[in-house]
Structure 1
Amino acid sequence: MDFRSSHRADRISVRRRVLLPLTVCSAVLAGAGLAGCSEPASQTSGPAASASAAAASDPGSRASGTRELEKDYQRVIQDVLPSVVQIDARSGLGSGVVYDNKGHVVTNAHVVGDEKEFKVTIATEGGDPMAAKLVAAYPEQDLAVIKLDQVPEGLKAARFGDTEKVEVGQMVLAMGSPLGLSSSVTQGIVSAVGRTVSEPRQGGSAGATLANMVQTSAAINPGNSGGALVDLDSQVVGIPTLAATDPQLGGSAAPGIGFAIPASMVRTVADQIIKDGKVTDSGRAALGVSGRTVLDDNFQPAGVAVASVQKDGPAAKAGIEAGDILVTFGGRQLTTITSLSEALASSKPGAKVGVGYERDGARRNVEVTLGEM
């Protein structure tokens, strides 16, 4: 499977697709990406529990349970949709979520791109678009904050939930502007948590590697990027960002596989941007090198060639030099620059990690104390 961003590229028919090589995606879903997943919940809590209990009895109760679930959906939509906006950038359309009553809106960095000014339409208002400007973007986590020039009366901020409490099997709704259709809502469940996914290369640079992503079966389509993934308590549990595609089907959508940045990371990044105008404490590990994937004699990915080493950075302090080929990280085999990014995404600053590398045909092993991105 590949991944595409859920950002609308234009207003008619062309959809911007961001793709990841099949080998990388397979490694994410079949290997390290599964390690952080929680077990399925043994029972459902909240509004869904009452519906399940009703469905277990007679047909009349099942019908009643269905109506109750419908009411839950409608209540959540009424609560949250006024906090979901459509963002119109020159490069296309995306979605955003009102973060506070001061006019800050959180979205994906790939929605804002390199632009500084935007038109924002509140999903439920249907009025004239409002002007907004970029506060800051943090592409490393694919998040950005923009701010309305004028805060409309009654602007409603969304409530962001606790990602630690998100459970597999939990019902969720995705809200945004897929394909430019504002105020759209899809429903599904949380399919997995703790996924690590890597975005494709953009503009010659490697895409962001995102850890602890929430996987959902709710439909995520181009234009949903930056919108809201919401639980039945009307809390935003994630920001929809990526949808999977299947290269065996010509890059067509792989139904029911979408990914959202967890609410905890959204709050961490947005709070720092609003306070300081930038991210000052990413909480993400760094090795202090730039590199590229190298191939073996059979033209297969075989490691990461170090192109440069940050002066006085973690790698430099451990003796790693430009020209070395990194082959292991924390006991995990490194084959591509993406595999290194994924390994770092699941690590913490200050952690001590064993790194294996080759220099002049000889294998060496060092312990590196990771820095912060």
Structure 2
Amino acid sequence: MSVSRTRAVSSSVLPLLAVLTAASLVSGCSSGSGSGSRDSGGSTTQAAPAAASGLQDEYQKVIKDVLPSVVQIEAAEGLGSGVVYDGKGHIVTNAHVVGKEKRFKVTTATGEQALTAELVATYPEQDLAVVKLGDVPNGLKAAKFGDSTKAEVGQIVLAMGSPLGLSSSVTQGIVSATGRTVSEGRSGGGTGATIANMVQTSAAINPGNSGGALVDLEGQVIGIPTLAASDPDMGDSAAPGIGFAIPSSMVKTVADQIIESGRVTDSGRAALGITGRTVLGDDYRPAGVAVVEAGKGGAAADAGMAAGDIITRLGDDEVTTINSLSEALASARPGQKTRVTYVRDGDERTTDVTLGEM
């Protein structure tokens, strides 16, 4: 796995929709000595250091407060997770969890009878979706969403969801990095989205955690676990301790628009207004993005670019593939002016572009 200097993850990442409804459990071996330790007089002592006991109490309080707001979502092709967004029955999850379906079975943390939910809207470009319960049960508790821009490396976090179909599971870790730009594959039901400002975590993230909650010790959701990095040297299996969550700031922006308007009306994401494809150089390596179509009125067309041009740089970022172009655009904003370097008929050219909106 490689991470570029721009903090964009260029290795494969796997969406976390579970394709299993159960997991095989192997019991641990017992030493036969029981719990606790014995002092020289033979008495058993089980006193934990005060600091460890305090941290444990904090974990348990957060889990008690937040876990009732995390649900399991059953779709035709597998299981995922979701987070109760408000008291009206809206639940936010990943677009790759809902896929192309419209109706779902939702099980709350109490494990009682599954409820029926319908899709409100999906936004694959950010791998987010909102579903709504048909009947809102009494006492449905909305999660509290925090400010992901305040997340700090080393901060303790808990991941809550239904990994491998094991509902109401909790793992713990830290925020490993912030500001990651990650491109999601399309295999395994992924949307192919490129997502900026993701929170990287060491908390165990497994299939089925998608759409769940990444929570700080104040009981606030700071991200939606979505992806796990894969290691090509290990047969593209998930790399332990490298997971990614969509930041809560983006989750709130998208969910609020979907709930209010039934769709995303202001993506906040920059675009060139082109259809493109990766092209190879003389050495058969990716060498840029060929413009297949420059949409009329789009940023590229307005700057004089046309079909056949090959984009090689956006601002300071080198462009070799369609993914690298998406990653460069993910860190930009609509209306921002930037310079595009491209090749036309063998000649390198540059043009100043005012970016449009996706």
State the TM-score, normalizing by the size of structure 1. 0.85
| Structure-2 separation of matches of 1:110 and 1:288 | 24
Corresponding position: 1:266 with 2:251:
yes
Write out per-residue CA displacement over residues 26-54 of structure 1, whole angstroms, 9 at most, x where no aligned residue. Answer: xxxxxxxxxxxxxxxxxxxxxxxxxxxxx
Corresponding position: 1:128 with 2:113:
yes
Write out per-residue CA displacement over residues 279-303 of structure 1, whole angstroms, 9 at most, x where no aligned residue. Answer: 0000000100011100011100000
| Structure-2 separation of matches of 1:204 and 1:238 | 21
Q: Secondary structure at the match of 1:151?
A: coil
| Structure-1 separation of matches of 2:308 and 2:189 | 21
Q: Counterpart of 2:64?
A: 78
| Structure-2 separation of matches of 1:305 and 1:219 | 39
Corresponding position: 1:11 with 2:21:
yes
Corresponding position: 1:196 with 2:181:
yes
Q: Counterpart of 2:136?
A: 151
Q: Is the 8 A contact 1:87 1:120 kept in 2?
A: yes
Matches within 5 A, 1:1-373: 1=1, 2-12=12-22, 63-123=49-109, 125-201=110-186, 207-373=192-358
Cα offset, 1:250, TM superposition? 1.7
Q: Is the 8 A contact 1:10 1:91 kept in 2?
A: no
Write out per-residue CA displacement over residues 293-343 of structure 1, whole angstroms, 9 at most, x where no aligned residue. Answer: 000111000000111111111100001001110011002211000000000
How many pairs align? Answer: 327
Question: Which residue identity lines up with residue 274 of structure 1 in the other structure?
Answer: I
| Structure-2 separation of matches of 1:344 and 1:253 | 27
Distance 1:204 1:179, change over 3 A: closer
Write out per-residue CA displacement over residues 88-113 of structure 1, whole angstroms, 9 at most, x where no aligned residue. Answer: 00111000000000000000000000
Write out per-residue CA displacement over residues 189-243 of structure 1, whole angstroms, 9 at most, x where no aligned residue. Answer: 0000000000013599971000000000000000000000000000000000001
| Structure-1 separation of matches of 2:272 and 2:122 | 22
Q: Is the 8 A contact 2:99 2:189 kept in 1?
A: no
Q: Secondary structure at the match of 1:268?
A: helix
Q: Is the 8 A contact 1:188 1:219 kept in 2?
A: yes
Cα offset, 1:252, TM superposition? 2.4
| Structure-1 separation of matches of 2:313 and 2:189 | 25
Distance 1:64 1:206, change over 3 A: closer
Question: Which residue identity lines up with residue 67 of structure 2 in the other structure?
Answer: L
Q: Secondary structure at the match of 1:68?
A: helix
Cα offset, 1:251, TM superposition? 2.0
Q: Which has the higher helix share?
A: 1
State the TM-score, normalizing by the size of structure 2. 0.89
Identity of aligned residues (%): 68
